[in-house]
Amino acid sequence: MTDRFARAAVVGTGMMGPGIAVTMARGGSQVSIYGRTEESVARGLAGVEAALSFLVENQLLPAGEARVLRERIQGTTDLAQAVDGAGLVQESIAENLEIKRDLFRRLEGLCSPDTLLCSNTSGLLISQIAAVLVRPERAATMHYWNPPHLVPLVEISQGERTAAEMVEALHAYLRRCGQVPVVARKDIPGQIANRLQHALLREALYLVQEGVASASDVDLALKMGPGRRWPVYGVIEHQDVVGLDLALSVQRSLCPDLYSVPAPPSVLEDKVAQGELGVKTGRGFYDWSQRDVGAVKARRDALLCVLAREWKEE
Looking at the annotation, which residues are catalytic? 122, 143, 155, 194
User: What angle, rounded to 10 degrees, do the helices at 17-26 and 38-57 form?
Assistant: 60
Give yes or no for a contact between 130 and 163, defined as CB atoms under 8 angstroms apart.
Answer: no
Residues forming beta bridges with residue 155, ordered by sequence position: 143, 182
Give yes or no for a contact between 208 and 285, defined as CB atoms under 8 angstroms apart.
Answer: yes
Give yes or no for a contact between 126 and 48, defined as CB atoms under 8 angstroms apart.
Answer: no
- Cα–Cα distance for residue pair 110/98, rounded to 1 Å: 19
Long-range contacts of 166-172, Cβ-Cβ distance < 8 Å, separation of 24 or more = 166/116, 166/137, 166/138, 166/140, 167/140, 169/4, 169/116, 170/88, 170/116, 170/118, 170/140, 170/142
H/E stretch holding 91 reads strand 88-91
Q: How far is CA 20 from CA 24, 51, 82, in A?
A: 6, 10, 15
Q: Note the Cα 178 to chain centre separation in Å.
A: 15
Residues 213, 219, 224, 227: is their CA dihedral positive or negative? positive
Torsion angle of alpha carbons 106, 109, 112, 118, nearest 10°? 30
Q: Note the Cα 302 to chain centre separation in Å.
A: 19
Residues 129, 132, 133, 134: is their CA dihedral positive or negative? positive
